[in-house]
Amino acid sequence: MASQMGESVDIYERIGRSLEERQEPGATEVVDLVRRMLNGAAESAQTLDLERLKTGVYRLRIGSGPVRAVVLKCLKPSIAQTDRLVAERWLPALGLGDRCPRILAGGAQRDGHWVWHAYEDAGDDTLERRHEPERMEAAVRLIAELHTRAAIHPLMPEIRWRARDHGVHFFTSNLRDAIGAMEALADLRRPMSTEFVRARARVLERLYELREDAPRRVQVMEQAGGPDTLLHGDLWPKNVLVSANGKGLLAQLIDWDHVGAGPFSYDLSTLLYNASREERPWIVRRYREEVERAGWHLPPLPELNLLLHTAETARQVHCILFVAIALLHDDAEWAPQELIYWDGYFAALRPPLEE
């Protein structure tokens, strides 16, 4: 959505209408947020441009000369609260306050269901777009720094209380609940395809096997997983920005919607499973070197591999659980094919590192 400057009220109305057309909640509140954020400066701008990045996330460009840009993001209230804690309390306390975009303004939908944040625009130089060794190295250095600093910080109890649990409980509770939900799918009244029936049986069998192996995995997590630390929780390459800042490369992490507490392996496994097999040993080596400077010692390869595999498995089980819930309670049309997909992914999953 782009508009030439007319009356300033028309500009704001165009933003609201554009969001309403995309069925985004809280369009009125976003308009109020932008009014407050610009503080009347819109009248000096010649254009406003609203670019949709994904559902609930937009880049707002202001001006036709030197362009100012902000990112608008729609969040559930609980996530908005933890995102603000990350940006304004937790990372600054760790000396990493510049490692995520600043929150410039916020506004809540009047019924309290959604909150919009306006973030400074950190650009598009993600590892997904520019996957270069020096950029990956800067990212690994930041992740190691985040983990080692947070693990010994007095704020960890607050982080554990306010954010998600990505530790032992995440693994065991999702496994138990997924088995229950998958067993309940046997009583579906609607006819299902043969492919779905077979996929459900295979997934359930793997969940049973995983339940048998759970005590061993939990023991390794408790003995070799290290201390709980602050976790980004969603370390896909698209959520890691690396940009030049005049002094070198600065790594930042965006989209902290899954922030939590738990072992380092939860974050590290996400990074590894989204890297090539050839790149993984190098990432682990650089991470090991960085954390050893802080006095950490990663476990030997067999235990490390099991920790990483368990973290990725726990995420898969979590996804399977909510596919089953969507089918059981909402009769979601997309759910059967989604379960078939996870059946294939689950079957193909292997530890990330060659032993």
Residue-wise pLDDT tens for the chain (355 aa)?
A: 444 434 444 677 788 888 888 899 998 888 888 888 877 555 544 567 889 998 899 999 877 555 588 999 999 999 999 999 999 999 999 999 999 999 999 999 888 899 999 999 988 999 999 989 999 999 999 999 999 999 999 999 999 999 999 999 999 999 999 999 999 999 988 889 999 999 999 999 999 999 999 999 999 999 999 999 999 999 999 999 999 877 889 999 999 999 999 999 999 999 999 999 999 999 999 999 999 999 999 999 999 999 999 999 999 999 999 999 999 999 999 999 999 999 999 999 999 999 8
Overall pTM > 0.85: yes
- The architecture (CATH level 2) of 133-348 comes to Alpha-Beta Complex (3.90)
Q: Is 300 helix (H, G, I), strand (E, B) or coil?
A: coil
Domain boundaries, the chain: 2-120, 133-348
Element (H, E) at 270: helix 264-273
Task: Report whether 254 contacts 239 (CB < 8 A).
Answer: yes
What is the CB neighbour count within 10 angstroms for residue 305? 20
Query: ∠ CA 258-263-269 to the nearest 5 degrees?
Result: 70
Q: Is 293 helix (H, G, I), strand (E, B) or coil?
A: coil
Fold of 2-120: Phosphorylase Kinase; domain 1 (3.30.200)
Helices (H), the chain: 8-21, 27-38, 77-85, 91-93, 133-151, 156-162, 168-184, 194-224, 264-273, 280-292, 301-330, 335-348
Residue 322 CB burial class (10 angstroms; 0-12, 13-18, ≥19): middle
Return the half-sphere exposure (C-beta side, CA atoms, 13 A cut-off) of residue 43.
5
